[in-house]
Amino acid sequence: MGRMKLLNNVINTATNQVEGFCIVKSVQQKSNIKGSDYLDFVLADAGGEINAKLWDYDLAIHGTFYPDMIIKIRGTVTQWKETEQLKVDRIRKIKDDEETVMSELVPCAPFSSESMYNTIFDYTNSFKNSDLQLLTQYILKTNKEELLRFPAALKLHHAMRGGLLFHTVTMLKSAEAFCKVYKELYPALSTDLVYAGVILHDIAKLHELTVGELGLATAYSMKGQLLGHINIGVAMLEQAAAELMTDESITTLLQHILLSHHGSPEFGSPRMPMFPEAEIVSTVDLLDARMFEMFDALDPVSPGEFSERLWALENRQLYKHGLE
């Protein structure tokens, strides 16, 4: 993440004091060497995050703070080991009559969650296979509330509010372009199976990640740590298919797409794609993740310059050529 937008709201240039709304990403109560309590925060907004300290913490005066809480803060920006830090001067919870724009507080997908959900659902309305349609729509409907806010990752691609839907929509559009080319050459290609695989491939991120009401992932859940979204997703499909009495062969095909969508065992897939539709899902998943990572990394870079090394992209440095 970059620099917090809050830090641009300077109210006193002489003291470098800032004021505005942000969210509590994490908070711990600690004691200094004199035995006085203080709160150690990580505060964040859509621009970035910062470490902050509330010295001489008093529960009776200041109250309780917890992750995902929206607060209003006044603080002094200082330097600690060449890194910006915030000394909290005043802090309180947001009032009921105070309005904030969610996109100012947390990174959000560039489209509304409702519109992205509807776009995805429209794809399922075109399915000719009734089992694929019923199963996919059932999972979308039963998980709609979580889908509207969940990110696609903890830190990497599409780690934003609505990021899972954003990732799914762009994958569907890429997959549609692939299918348009290859369906003409190979009529046996099942577009229904491709689209259903795209829609469901990451559905278990809803159980893999710990996500609050603001739509930010703070950690992996216990199930996420022990099982991972691929295994959880296979189980979700099994349960939904049993409730709907889905044809077993359809369920197995979808489960294979989930098991193989990371491409190879090296990247966490127990199986490599073993039919064309699974190959398309795996390919567009990797493509979409890398396009997001690349453009996100190049956004602050000036034309003619290179980005920092990106460990998520094999430690590559990216070049911004500046061509339209």
What CATH number is associated with residue 163?
1.10.3210
Q: What angle, rounded to 10 degrees, do the helices at 163-185 and 113-125 form?
A: 30
Domain annotation covers residue 159: yes
Asked whether residue 186 falls in the same domain as residue 245, the answer is yes
What CA dihedral angle connects 163, 291, 234 and 189, to 10 degrees?
A: 120
Q: How far apart are CA 267 and CA 92, in angstroms?
A: 44
Asked whether residue 92 falls in the same domain as residue 119, the answer is no
Total domains in the chain come to: 2
Domain annotation covers residue 309: no
Asked whether residue 55 falls in the same domain as residue 93, the answer is yes
Asked whether residue 242 falls in the same domain as residue 276, the answer is yes
Domain containing 254 equals: 107-298
- The pLDDT profile of the chain, 324 residues, written as one tens digit per residue, is 568 889 999 998 989 999 999 999 889 999 988 889 999 999 989 888 899 999 999 999 999 998 889 999 999 999 888 889 999 999 999 988 887 778 788 889 999 999 999 999 999 999 999 999 999 999 999 999 999 999 999 888 898 999 999 999 999 999 999 999 999 999 999 999 999 999 999 999 999 999 988 888 888 999 999 999 999 999 999 999 999 999 999 999 999 999 999 987 777 788 999 999 999 999 999 999 999 999 999 988 999 999 999 988 889 999 999 898
Asked whether residue 118 falls in the same domain as residue 180, the answer is yes
Asked whether residue 221 falls in the same domain as residue 87, the answer is no
Asked whether residue 84 falls in the same domain as residue 128, the answer is no
Asked whether residue 137 falls in the same domain as residue 263, the answer is yes
Asked whether residue 67 falls in the same domain as residue 126, the answer is no
The residue whose two tokens read 């979808």 is: 254
Q: Select from 73, 98, 123 the last residue of a domain.
A: 98
Asked whether residue 165 falls in the same domain as residue 183, the answer is yes
Domain annotation covers residue 217: yes
Q: Select from 98, 115, 150 the last residue of a domain.
A: 98
Half-sphere exposure of 23 (CA within 13 A, CB side): 23
Asked whether residue 94 falls in the same domain as residue 120, the answer is no
Domain annotation covers residue 198: yes
- Residue 1's pLDDT is 57
Domain annotation covers residue 52: yes
Asked whether residue 134 falls in the same domain as residue 155, the answer is yes
Q: How far apart are CA 190 and CA 175, in angstroms?
A: 12
Domain annotation covers residue 58: yes
Domain annotation covers residue 30: yes
CATH number reported for the structural domain that contains residue 44 in this entry? 2.40.50.140
Domain annotation covers residue 267: yes
Single pTM value for the model? 0.83
The residues that bridge with 76 in the sheet, in sequence order, are 17, 87
